[in-house]
Homo-oligomer: A and B are copies of this chain.
Amino acid sequence: MSKATFYHAGCPVCQDAEKNMLGFLDQSKVDVEIVDFNDDSSRVSEAESAGVKSVPALVLDGQPYHINYGASMEDVKNG
Protein backbone atom coordinates (compact mmCIF):
# COMPACT_ATOMS: atom_id res chain seq x y z
CA MET A 1 0.00 0.00 0.00
CA SER A 2 1.33 3.39 -0.95
CA LYS A 3 0.97 6.41 1.26
CA ALA A 4 -0.21 9.84 0.16
CA THR A 5 -0.47 12.98 2.26
CA PHE A 6 -2.45 15.89 0.91
CA TYR A 7 -1.28 19.14 2.46
CA HIS A 8 -3.45 22.18 2.25
CA ALA A 9 -4.25 25.42 3.99
CA GLY A 10 -7.91 25.97 3.30
CA CYS A 11 -7.36 28.16 0.27
CA PRO A 12 -9.86 28.01 -2.61
CA VAL A 13 -7.36 26.25 -4.89
CA CYS A 14 -6.73 23.74 -2.08
CA GLN A 15 -10.42 23.10 -1.56
CA ASP A 16 -10.97 22.59 -5.26
CA ALA A 17 -8.13 20.06 -5.53
CA GLU A 18 -9.35 18.21 -2.45
CA LYS A 19 -12.92 18.09 -3.69
CA ASN A 20 -12.32 17.33 -7.34
CA MET A 21 -9.10 15.36 -7.51
CA LEU A 22 -8.47 13.39 -4.33
CA GLY A 23 -11.61 11.34 -4.79
CA PHE A 24 -10.18 9.83 -7.94
CA LEU A 25 -7.26 8.23 -6.14
CA ASP A 26 -7.60 4.48 -5.91
CA GLN A 27 -8.02 3.76 -2.22
CA SER A 28 -7.16 0.14 -2.80
CA LYS A 29 -3.68 1.25 -3.83
CA VAL A 30 -3.03 4.29 -1.71
CA ASP A 31 -3.82 5.38 1.81
CA VAL A 32 -4.61 9.11 1.72
CA GLU A 33 -4.20 11.40 4.70
CA ILE A 34 -5.39 15.00 4.56
CA VAL A 35 -3.46 17.60 6.56
CA ASP A 36 -4.82 21.13 6.94
CA PHE A 37 -2.07 23.40 8.25
CA ASN A 38 -4.75 25.59 9.83
CA ASP A 39 -5.54 22.68 12.11
CA ASP A 40 -2.05 21.33 12.55
CA SER A 41 0.81 23.74 11.92
CA SER A 42 3.21 21.27 13.52
CA ARG A 43 3.18 19.33 10.24
CA VAL A 44 4.75 22.21 8.28
CA SER A 45 8.32 21.04 8.83
CA GLU A 46 7.47 17.50 7.75
CA ALA A 47 5.97 18.84 4.52
CA GLU A 48 8.96 21.07 3.85
CA SER A 49 11.31 18.14 4.44
CA ALA A 50 9.40 16.24 1.76
CA GLY A 51 9.99 19.11 -0.66
CA VAL A 52 6.63 20.84 -0.47
CA LYS A 53 7.02 24.44 -1.65
CA SER A 54 3.37 25.43 -1.99
CA VAL A 55 -0.13 24.18 -1.31
CA PRO A 56 -2.06 22.24 -2.29
CA ALA A 57 0.46 19.44 -2.58
CA LEU A 58 0.28 15.69 -2.55
CA VAL A 59 3.27 13.79 -1.18
CA LEU A 60 3.10 10.37 -2.74
CA ASP A 61 5.51 7.78 -1.43
CA GLY A 62 7.77 10.62 -0.37
CA GLN A 63 7.69 12.56 -3.65
CA PRO A 64 6.03 15.98 -3.68
CA TYR A 65 3.46 16.80 -6.36
CA HIS A 66 2.29 20.39 -6.29
CA ILE A 67 -1.21 20.70 -7.71
CA ASN A 68 -1.88 24.13 -9.16
CA TYR A 69 -0.88 26.97 -6.85
CA GLY A 70 -2.81 28.21 -3.86
CA ALA A 71 -0.20 29.65 -1.53
CA SER A 72 3.52 29.32 -0.83
CA MET A 73 4.79 27.59 2.28
CA GLU A 74 6.12 31.00 3.32
CA ASP A 75 2.56 32.33 3.17
CA VAL A 76 1.42 29.32 5.19
CA LYS A 77 4.07 29.92 7.85
CA ASN A 78 3.30 33.62 8.04
CA GLY A 79 -0.34 32.66 8.47
Is A37 among interface residues, defined by CB-CB distance under 8 A?
no
Number of chain A interface residues as a range: 20 to 34
Interface residues of A in 1-34 (CB under 8 A from B): 2, 4, 16-17, 20-21, 23-30
Is A60 among interface residues, defined by CB-CB distance under 8 A?
yes
* A64 and chain B: residue at smallest CB distance: B68
Asked whether B60 lies within 8 Å of A24 as measured between CB atoms, the reply is yes
Interface residues of A in 29-63 (CB under 8 A from B): 29-30, 58, 60-61, 63
3 closest cross-chain pairs (CB), A and B? A26-B26, A24-B30, A24-B25
A residues adjacent to B (C-beta < 8 A):
2, 4, 16-17, 20-21, 23-30, 58, 60-61, 63-69
